[in-house]
Amino acid sequence: MSRLKGRRIALGVTGSISAYKAAEVVRGLVQENADVRVVMTREAGAFVGAVTFSALTAHPVAIEQFPEAGASGEEHIDLAVWADAVAIVPATANIIGKMANGLGDDLLSTVMLACEAPCCLAPAMNFRMWRNEAVQANLERLRSRGVHVIEPEFGMLANGEMGEGRLAAPDRIVEAIAILADPDPDLAGCNVLVSAGPTEEDIDPVRCVTNRSSGKMGFAVARAAARRGASVTLVSGPTSLQDPYGVTVEHVRSADEMHEAVLRNREGQDAVIMAAAVADYRPGVQGRRKMKKSDERLTLEMTRTADILKEVAADRPPVLVGFAAETHDGLDFARGKRAEKDLDLVVYNDITMEGAGFGTDTNIVTLIHRDGREETLPKQAKSGVADRIMDEVAALLRNREGVPA
Ligand code: CTP
């Protein structure tokens, strides 16, 4: 279950051409069962209709500070007190300026004056406005007051020009809001290292040996840790996934590169979670030139790669979690892996099951604990599985003394 469930999010929408993307942000939050209320400026109404937001949130949209009838005139206070977190998506230079200087001349800016909840902004504007000294000074002022700024991206702007100032992608904004709104950031101050994805072992410059890992499970784990306030480093093999918001990502290709990156980042980690599907063997010789076909049969000689998890286990962090993806006799193999490497937790999945394993958005896993407990979780989204894994990691870190050094 998403940790956004039941969280009360006030979402401000201001007048930018990217205002329509706020609808996608709202949908992302609602899909995770957050309770969202939208406050629009009048200018936002020129770009997107209030009905869109009221339909998505099942709440009326607030626009006017002094509505004609049927309202108390205290909406700005009511909303500010109601919200667990506030986000302005998109945020124009105008609302940024008003917030930085304590001005309130419409409903949204007065809500922001009254708001004591954590707040984030996703700016969107032409690159000339974005680099304007006054805008940057206003943003700096807001950052120093603890407002989180979701940096805009470089890309094509409203007038077709390329530059910095494009609204961040909606799913990244949802992620940033989720981090801000977490009711219990129980991994705040913790460092978490996650490995994810497949590896690619070159045969020659155009061919490689790899596996079908999509990286989705490891990325979900990294995201879940970041949502709980951890400082997360993700070492990932090649995937088609976007880097998760708020996570430091190191991209690698081969098992050797993953080995080097994991060991280099190991120092100071409170928890290491190895979700990568690392090649156990790589071609003994990697040709510098493309191999030409000749005989009917071809034998590739393979040599062992380093067992990264085993090496991390030899100098173990406070919490160490491994994965076991198996096709047969899996539970026994998984129990064996847990014991052999003295892991706190093994996340076992039978990749032959429908809705489990590589490439899917769901997984069916059994958690095998150090104390012998075994829990099979119902089939669910990988984000849900990741959250359960982080529940265990957080609990283990709380009882750190109980974990062998
Ligand atoms: N792993 C690793 N380095 C490797 C191989 C695996 O760190 N060279 C990690 C994986 O990230 C996973 C765990 O070890 O957390 C189990 O991986 P898996 O491939 O299922 O098992 P192996 O240890 O390789 O064992 P086997 O091939 O015998 O199943």
| Nearest-angstrom CA–CA distance, 110 and 98 | 10
Using the atom order of ligand 1, give the atom closest to the CA of residue 305. 8
Distance set, CA 10 to CA 42, 46, 67, 214, 246 (Å): 17, 20, 19, 34, 21
- Segment 287-316 shows an average pLDDT of 94
Which region among 56-70, 189-203, 267-281 has the lowest average model confidence (pLDDT)? 56-70
Q: Is 211 a catalytic residue?
A: yes
Residue with tokens 């030139």: 289
Backbone angles phi, psi at 87, to 5 degrees: -135, 140
> pLDDT tens digits, residue range 140-198?
999 999 999 999 999 999 888 999 999 999 999 999 999 999 989 999 999 999 999 99
3-class secondary-structure state, position 72: coil
Give me the numbers of helices (H) and strands (E) for the chain, helices first please.
13, 21
H or E stretch covering 249: strand 247-251
DSSP 8-state symbol, 68? S
| Nearest-angstrom CA–CA distance, 223 and 244 | 6
- Looking at residue 77, what is its pLDDT? 87
| Nearest-angstrom CA–CA distance, 320 and 306 | 18
- Segment 216-227 shows an average pLDDT of 97
The residue to mutate among 337, 342, 345, having the most atoms of ligand 1 within 8 angstroms of its beta carbon, is 337
Q: What is the pTM of this model?
A: 0.93
Is residue 113 scored above 90 in pLDDT?
yes
Using the atom order of ligand 1, give the atom closest to the CA of residue 325. 20
- Looking at residue 69, what is its pLDDT? 64
- Under the banding of pLDDT at 50, 70 and 90, the label for residue 403 is very low
Question: Residues 33, 101, 138, 211: which is the catalytic one?
Answer: 211
- Segment 278-286 shows an average pLDDT of 95
For residue 278, how far is its CA from the centre of ligand 1 (angstroms)? 6
- Segment 229-250 shows an average pLDDT of 97
3-class secondary-structure state, position 49: coil
For residue 35, how far is its CA from the centre of ligand 1 (angstroms)? 41
Structure tokens at 197: 């994805």
Q: What angle do CA 212, 217, 218 make, to 5 degrees?
A: 100
